[in-house]
Structure 1
């Protein structure tokens, strides 16, 4: 097991999002194919809402890349750990904040353990994901590509500080 140190993680991309505001509200581009790494092809999308104080993850994928957009409502603490033994940044972790106050898209390659926690006091937080694999494969007939570290006793991966 790595001795985790706070630093950048190879392959993780953080894109600051812009809110274009006018009298109608705002518009934010959350994902553009022409701004993705070459060969990354999102294949589905979903929206999740997370209650205040609740975490999702940490977990990792063997093959799937996640493209998460944190735009609000709500604000999130996001933690990433590079668990890829052959990576030049193996053992690094990142701590980010994204959401209503800091709209970002985060691209997370396979093997990066990740989780997020809604740190808002009262707002249910929204996250959009554009993964490059179908959940449970075509027709939902395959195994789920997910290693759930939040279910492990004494896991070294925690959303708490």
Structure 2
């Protein structure tokens, strides 16, 4: 896997800086707006996760699900993406994005793009995700849409 991937930008991955609106109370950031999303990407659920410093989550990919991540702090993350879609113009491309407190971003990851992230800061990091599919389907009665890659020997290389 490591030799087949080259650095670049991945087709259909959307990375957008998030603006923080500051005032005397703190800050506010819009995470998503229905008038800025394609109907097929509209979230159907949302969750937040906490990742400890030095810990990585993933890598995995989805067959049908699109992930809508927001990295806003209070830590920083190194996000790893690689395109395993054989019909994609960016097949074989590996992309790394720095996101979080120092660079708040929204990240759309389409099906077939393997993704992982690592907390590279010194404190617990929070990640918001609003995917366009329900985890394990309606009533959690369907198979989970994930292809896991944590055990692949190349995963450590790709998560340098």
Counterpart residue number, 1:113:
114
Note the C-alpha offset of 1:151: 2.5
Indicate if the aligned counterparts of 2:80 and 2:159 stay in contact, CA closer than 8 A. Answer: no
Greater shift, 29-38 or 84-93, is seen at 29-38
Note the C-alpha offset of 1:15: 0.8
Counterpart residue number, 1:137:
137
Once the two structures are superposed, residues 6-61 of structure 1 have per-residue CA deviations (whole angstroms, 9 ceiling, x without a partner) of 11111000010001001000000111121123532210000000000000001000
Counterpart residue number, 1:17:
18
Note the C-alpha offset of 1:155: 3.1
Between the aligned partners of 1:38 and 1:50, the Cα distance in structure 2 is: 30
Counterpart residue number, 2:87:
86
Aligned length: 159
Local SS of the residue matching 2:73: coil
What's the RMSD between the two structures over aligned residues? 1.4
Indicate if the aligned counterparts of 2:13 and 2:110 stay in contact, CA closer than 8 A. Answer: yes
Indicate if the aligned counterparts of 1:30 and 1:105 stay in contact, CA closer than 8 A. Answer: yes
| Deviation >6 Å, runs of 4+ | none
TM-score (norm 2): 0.94
Indicate if the aligned counterparts of 2:18 and 2:30 stay in contact, CA closer than 8 A. Answer: yes
Local SS of the residue matching 2:82: strand
Which segments of 5 or more consecutive residues in structure 2 lack a partner in the other structure? Answer: none
Between the aligned partners of 2:12 and 2:83, the Cα distance in structure 1 is: 10
